[in-house]
Amino acid sequence: MRPRTTIVALSFLISSASSFGQSSYSDPNWQQACEKAKTAQIEQPNLQESLPASKLAGCDERELYYGISAKPDYAAALQCGWYERAHPKPNVANMFYGSGVLTMLYANGQAVPRNYDLALRFACEQNWASEAEMEMRIGHLEAMRDGRVDRPRFDLCDDITSGLSMGACTSIETGRADTAREQEIGAIAAKRSQ
């Protein structure tokens, strides 16, 4: 018989995984859209110095953007994303690295003005997305740009199809659950010690 925690963890993973990849937008001509997006002018904004230069090489864009163990820090995520984009790691399969987090920040207008042209350009720079993910992701961003989306918030996890992306998105949800559980345990322990 499995321990209760294992069953709870498995049911959590299954329920959160079922919410990923639910975008109903797609663009079968996404490659052409990406060719056009490459013409978007990129001008790095004046970045708020949220992170000291010594911390940029090891910055964690997912922690900064999603606030897995603390509150999100979009200014630091922006600074981290630009640093990572300037220092690519082509052999590391991380859809959030550099251009990935920049896609979300520009699509949602977090720490920068909303800019769908740049969000599309950054989305097109993704090397680890499957063809189906790119079709959905580019279509999703185009639908947001054109005002055809009911929910104006964009997340890379909305448009996933591969096991690699599913694992990355599930790790964010499990990280948040771990943090919430640790906080709850800490609160219980604090009450008992009184």
pLDDT in tens, 39-96: 988 988 888 777 888 889 999 999 999 999 889 999 999 999 999 999 999 898 899 9
6 pLDDT higher than 80: no
**Average pLDDT estimate for 109-119:** 96
Whose tokens are 């995520």? That residue is: 77
Taking the domains of the chain in order of start, what are their residue ranges? 27-38+47-192
pTM given for the model: 0.81
**Average pLDDT estimate for 162-190:** 80
